[in-house]
């Protein structure tokens, strides 16, 4: 009997260890894994308004239909964000739309809630080649939040100071330079001539008056 117990005990211990390992591994294996992305990792795209989709292996946990816990962000090489932050969850996939900026490398960062309640995340890169007729979208300085106004980067004060002329320069640019006009010079010259003529006339009249007085005395 003791010999049988000694033979059964190791087998029972091995089975228990196997069941324990399976129990510990089962929650991890239940996570919904990403099986496909659009665009694909490393792919080059030339569509300005990008449709991003993350497809997983199972139904995602979208409680209340408000997409809480789900997110997709698209950033460029400078760390600027694109899109409106709104995510659509449909069964095993989550998606968003993002108008892109200029050509370059972009990064997609995503987060989703697996069917077992665990929150998972990841990211990958792709390349954007801007079409010639596409007007690049403006990058945002903060991650967009669905339903809220985007936040765009502000120019530094020093850059504004360099770009904007001072008040004196603006006034000189707006007001044409005042040059001496012929009218003012003519008026000044006319006043001088009139004053000279008046002096000559007064002198002449005085001279004639003196001559007349002398002639009367002689008579």
pLDDT tens, residue by residue, 60-105: 998 767 678 999 999 999 999 999 999 999 999 999 999 999 999 9
What is the rounded CA–CA span in Å between residue 129 and residue 150? 24
Q: Which of 39, 55, 117 is nearest to 91 (CA)?
A: 55
How many residues does the structure list for the chain?
Answer: 219
CATH of 31-166, one of 3.30.450.30, 3.40.50.2000, 1.10.540.10, 2.60.40.1220: 2.60.40.1220
Q: Is the pLDDT of residue 29 over 90?
A: no
pLDDT reported for residue 67:
75
Half-sphere exposure of 97 (CA within 13 A, CB side): 3
pLDDT tens, residue by residue, 45-65: 999 999 999 999 999 998 767
pLDDT reported for residue 15:
43
Greater confidence (10 vs 78) lies with: 78
Q: Which residue's entry shows tokens 């001072």?
A: 166
CB 92 within 8 A of CB 59: yes
pLDDT tens, residue by residue, 123-165: 999 999 999 999 999 999 999 999 999 999 986 334 434 555 5
pLDDT reported for residue 80:
98
Q: Is the pLDDT of residue 214 over 90?
A: no
What are the extents of the domains in the chain?
31-166
> Tokens representing 54?
């993350």
What percentage of the chain exceeds 70 in pLDDT? Answer: 55
pLDDT reported for residue 68:
82
């Amino acid at each position: 009997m003791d010999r049988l117990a000694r033979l059964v005990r190791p087998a029972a211990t091995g089975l228990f260890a196997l069941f324990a390992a399976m129990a510990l591994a089962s929650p991890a294996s239940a996570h919904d894994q990403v099986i496909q992305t659009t665009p694909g990792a490393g792919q080059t795209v030339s569509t300005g308004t990008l449709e991003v989709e993350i497809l997983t292996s199972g139904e995602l946990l979208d409680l209340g239909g408000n997409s809480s816990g789900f997110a997709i962000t698209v950033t460029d090489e400078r760390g600027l964000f694109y899109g409106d932050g709104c995510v659509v969850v449909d069964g095993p996939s989550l998606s968003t739309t993002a108008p892109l900026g200029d050509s370059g490398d972009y990064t997609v960062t995503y987060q989703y809630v697996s069917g077992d309640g665990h929150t998972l995340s990841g990211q990958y890169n792709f390349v954007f080649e801007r079409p010639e007729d596409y007007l690049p979208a403006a990058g945002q300085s903060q991650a967009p939040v669905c339903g809220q106004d985007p936040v765009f980067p502000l120019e530094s004060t020093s850059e504004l100071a360099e770009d904007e002329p001072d008040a004196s320069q603006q006034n000189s640019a707006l007001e044409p330079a005042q040059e001496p006009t012929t009218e003012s010079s003519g008026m000044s010259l006319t006043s001088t001539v009139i004053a000279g003529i008046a002096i000559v006339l007064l002198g002449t009249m005085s001279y004639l008056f003196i001559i007349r007085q002398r002639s009367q005395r002689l008579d």
